Amino acid sequence: MSKKNLIILLSAFITFALGMGYYVSTYVQPAKTSTQTGNALLGGDFILTSHKGQNIDTKQFRGKYIMVYFGYSFCPDICPTALENMSEAMMKLADIGHKIQPIFVTVDPDRDTVQQLETYIQSFHPRFLALTGTKKALDKAIKAYRVYAQKVDDEGVSDYLVDHSSIVYIMGPDGKYVAHFSHKTPGEEMAFKLREIIKSGA
């Protein structure tokens, strides 16, 4: 290979290397770890009214884990399934149940009054708190937990449905997100994972 061709080849290689370096530094971002991304964008404190007519501020549960589920008492099947599974989990965690507060938050305040929730929640674990409130207060909680809830309008019908997401959120003693379950997750599985979470101090 002639000296001239060698210089041309080296020049082309250097140009290519510089170009790749620019592309990588400009367009290729380093992979983010779970530590970097975190879970700070899900959840938050709210103040609502319990089925006993008491003001409940979620800050009062600092030091405990809370299981939060958003639904409504007139829900035909999904909500009862979630609350039954949560109740079963609480029964299986009876020895450490004092460390966990199960909470049901309505997405249908028009019908889920304090009196309605007081009757409804009796069917589930006695440690449950059922919460309602003004539309503004509930919207704050719903937005914080990224819950989808939309009334299915049917003019002239009082027993309307509400489309909503169905997730059981687990929040840690510091009020931050720890884990979540589907409403279909069996109570036994919830209990097993919750025990592991509490044992690890997560």
* Per-residue tens of pLDDT for the chain, all 202 residues: 554 444 434 444 433 343 434 333 333 333 332 333 344 579 999 999 999 999 999 999 999 999 999 999 999 999 999 999 999 999 999 999 999 999 999 999 999 999 999 999 999 999 999 999 999 999 999 999 999 999 987 666 678 999 999 999 999 999 999 999 999 999 999 999 999 999 988 6
β-strands 161-164, 149-152: how paired? antiparallel
pTM, to two decimals: 0.78
Nearest to 196 by CA among 96, 68, 69: 96
How many residues are present in the chain?
A: 202
Q: Give helix 187-200 / helix 78-92 axis angle, nearest 10°.
A: 50
Cβ proximity of 71 and 82 under 8 Å = yes
CA atoms within 13 A on the CB side of 34: 2
* C-beta atoms surrounding 138 within 10 Å: 23
Nearest to 43 by CA among 22, 61, 19, 30: 61
Q: Which spans in the chain are helix H?
A: 3-27, 34-37, 78-92, 114-120, 135-144, 187-200
